[in-house]
Amino acid sequence: MTLSRMLKVLLVASTAPACVCGFAFGARVGSGLMAGSHHMTGSWRDPALRQPLSQLRMAEDSDTKTKERQPWEFRRFVRTIAFFNAPRPLAAARNAIRRRGEQGASSALPGGCILVAIGGGDDAATALGQRVTEQLLRRGALVRALVADGKAAAALELIGGGEKRLEVVQSNWEELPSIKPSVLEDVDRAVICAGGAGVDALVKSLKNYGDVQGRKLFSSAPGAVKSWEQWGALDDVVMGGVSTSELVVVPGEGEAGGRSSAAVFRGTVSPANNGGFASVRSRNASPPWDWSQFDALRLRVKGDGFRYKFTVYDAAGWDRPSWSYSFDTAAGEWADVTFPFSALMPIYRTKTMQDPPPLNLSTVYSLQLMLSKFEYDGGLNPTWKPGPFSLSLDSIATVKLGKTGGAVPPAIVILASGGTKAPASGEGVPMTVLDAGQPDAAAKTVDMLLAR
Ligand SMILES: *[C@@H]1O[C@H](CO)[C@@H](O)[C@H](O)[C@H]1NC(C)=O
């Protein structure tokens, strides 16, 4: 169904009473848009679409005689359809994340690079950092070296020999309260060859701007909040219902307090007109995301006690199978919701699929968050009740749980003198501290990072 055809149908329909439109069109749009909702009656190709309106009205009257009816908002329905059919700003969400608040990030490296941070004033640390860099390059990794000392930086450039897989950034990073976001762009692992006070700030910056906790798809971090503009409401209005929702960025709602922001999915759910769900969905990503290097999703959320649904679409069309995961929230508490892709349930319309195709991780187009009265196969959401709801989001990220399935390999290795402790700012990141004095410290570090 193209937009123009959809609008033509809508124009014809708009001469009929709104409630009829709700049932004639909503049920069909809904069947494609609302995986995990209920009440699906057919596809766009359904011949019922061509039934005279009088017949549809009769069917609707008999269907809902005893049920609560409320006026249906035709305009909101049209707005909903228009949002998801609008020409997409090219890769806008991704660019908002990529820029990370910096004017035109300059990275010459493709995604997934390893940061080697070398402190100044310590020859042993410099030598170790060089050994780690050499071995990483030899094993095919992409390396960005962040080097405090000018001479050491020049020496590293020589090691790289003009290689495209090494970038050297000279910076007095140990003295800085935080590192420029562009320096940490695409960094998903790091080695820090230093043990001083600057390590804490670097780890904090790695968490904020790098991918050490996974690759952020949407984030409320400063400079990335625009990524949420790709989300639009998709409520039961598409099926005649009256639930409403929105996703808005709210300053002051962020976990860090102060003026930090969070994206808030909020609204009101109502069972009127056979509805009962509100949702927000991201526009199709262009090009689609490739998640094949990851194995799980992590949502950082603050909920309100309701059970929400998170849905993944691996095709651009509307009426396609989707993959859903239900998660519970605790009222007023920030928490990580982490689930492996294998926990996503294949759904077609409202039903779980018996013989599903695999989720295609290399072509993920769209994500959806939903509060629904319904679970799957007609089951009810036990936490649902009519009224207002609110779910705050810090970020949505794809993460690695580790190739071994057992212990999670570290994303950050700190090479320092014996007895050095991992900095407090590293909470939530798999991190390890190795004694830089060990003879095989460099080799061990490289093995650990490449296991991730
Ligand atoms: C995923 O989609 C791509 C592009 O359409 C295709 O080439 C690939 O074979 C698909 N993979 C699976 C597992 O279906």
At 418, which CATH number?
3.40.50.720
**Which of the pair, 432 or 110, is modelled with greater confidence?**
432
Q: Which two tokens stand for residue 351?
A: 């039903």
**Residue 181 to residues 105, 184, 205, 226, 443: CA-CA distances in angstroms?**
9, 5, 8, 16, 29
Q: Are residues 346 and 230 in the same domain?
A: yes
Q: Which of 360, 376, 399 is the last residue of a domain?
A: 399
Query: What is residue 294's predicted lDDT score, i.e. its pLDDT?
Result: 84
Q: Whose CA is nearest to atom 9 of ligand 1?
A: 360
215 three-class SS: strand
Q: Are residues 261 and 318 in the same domain?
A: yes
Query: Within a 10 A sphere around the Cβ of 399, how many other Cβ atoms?
Result: 22
231-233/277-282 β-pairing: antiparallel
Domain assignment present for residue 48? The answer is no
Q: Are residues 245 and 387 in the same domain?
A: yes
Residue 427, CA atoms < 13 Å, CB-side half-sphere = 3
Q: Are residues 352 and 445 in the same domain?
A: no
Q: Are residues 166 and 234 in the same domain?
A: no
Domain assignment present for residue 47? The answer is no
Query: What integer best gives the mean pLDDT of the chain?
Result: 79
Residue by residue, DSSP assigns 319-332 as: SS-EEEEEEE--BT
Q: Which two tokens stand for residue 128?
A: 């170790």
107 lines ligand 1 (CB under 6 A): no
Q: Are residues 307 and 358 in the same domain?
A: yes
Domain assignment present for residue 341? The answer is yes
How many Å apart are CA 274 and CA 240, to the nearest integer? 8
Q: Which two tokens stand for residue 27?
A: 């049920």
Q: Are residues 126 and 259 in the same domain?
A: no
Range of the domain at 181: 105-209+404-450
Domain assignment present for residue 68? The answer is no
Q: Angle at Cα 283 formed by Cα 264 and Cα 288, nearest 5°?
A: 120
Above 80 in pLDDT, residue 47?
Answer: no
Q: Are residues 425 and 441 in the same domain?
A: yes
Of 47, 85, 131, nearest to 443 by C-alpha is 131
Count of domains forming the chain: 2
How many Å apart are CA 1 and CA 23, to the nearest integer? 18
Domain assignment present for residue 134? The answer is yes
Distance 360 CA to ligand 1 centre (A): 6
Distance 363 CA to ligand 1 centre (A): 7
pLDDT digits (tens, 9 = 90+) for 393-452: 999 999 877 554 556 778 999 999 888 888 888 887 889 999 999 999 999 999 998 877
Domain assignment present for residue 315? The answer is yes
Distance 272 CA to ligand 1 centre (A): 41
**Residue 100 to residues 94, 222, 256, 277: CA-CA distances in angstroms?**
10, 7, 18, 33
Please, which contacts does 159-162 make with residues 24 or more away whose CB atoms are closer than 8 Å?
159/130, 159/133, 159/134
360 lines ligand 1 (CB under 6 A): yes
Query: What is residue 163's predicted lDDT score, i.e. its pLDDT?
Result: 67
Q: Whose CA is nearest to atom 4 of ligand 1?
A: 363
Above 70 in pLDDT, residue 261?
Answer: yes
Q: Which two tokens stand for residue 114?
A: 């390893």
Query: What is residue 323's predicted lDDT score, i.e. its pLDDT?
Result: 96
Distance 325 CA to ligand 1 centre (A): 22
Distance 362 CA to ligand 1 centre (A): 7
Distance 104 CA to ligand 1 centre (A): 32
Domain assignment present for residue 61? The answer is no
What one-letter code names the amino acid at 259? R
Query: What is residue 87's predicted lDDT score, i.e. its pLDDT?
Result: 57
Q: Whose CA is nearest to atom 5 of ligand 1?
A: 363
Q: Are residues 333 and 309 in the same domain?
A: yes
Q: Whose CA is nearest to atom 10 of ligand 1?
A: 360
Q: Whose CA is nearest to atom 1 of ligand 1?
A: 360
288 lines ligand 1 (CB under 6 A): no
At 370, which CATH number?
2.60.120.430
358 lines ligand 1 (CB under 6 A): yes
Domain assignment present for residue 356? The answer is yes
Query: What is residue 407's predicted lDDT score, i.e. its pLDDT?
Result: 63
Q: From the centroid of its chain, how far is CA 205?
A: 19
**Which of the pair, 161 or 78, is modelled with greater confidence?**
78
Q: What is the dihedral of CA 441, 446, 451, 452, to 10 degrees?
A: 110
How many Å apart are CA 432 and CA 279, to the nearest integer? 40
